[in-house]
Amino acid sequence: MSTATTDRGEIHHVHHDADGDERLSVTLVEAVASLADTEPADLPPLESRINVAALDALWDTDGPGRPSAGCLTFSYGGYVVVVRSTGTVFLRDTAEA
Domains: count for the chain: 1
The pLDDT assigned to 26 comes to 92
Range of the domain at 72: 2-93
The pLDDT assigned to 69 comes to 75
Q: Which residues contact 34 (CB under 8 A, 6 or more apart)?
A: 1
Residues of the chain where predicted confidence (pLDDT) is lower than 50: none
CA gap 71, 89 in Å, rounded: 9
**Per-residue pLDDT tens digits for 39-57:** 999 999 999 999 999 888 8
In 3D space, the residue among 62, 51, 4 whose CA is nearest the CA of residue 25 turns out to be: 51
- ∠ Cα 83 1 57 (to 5°): 30
Count the Cβ atoms, other than its own, within 10 Å of residue 92.
Answer: 20
* Phi, then psi, of 73 in degrees rounded to 5: -125, 135
CA gap 10, 93 in Å, rounded: 8
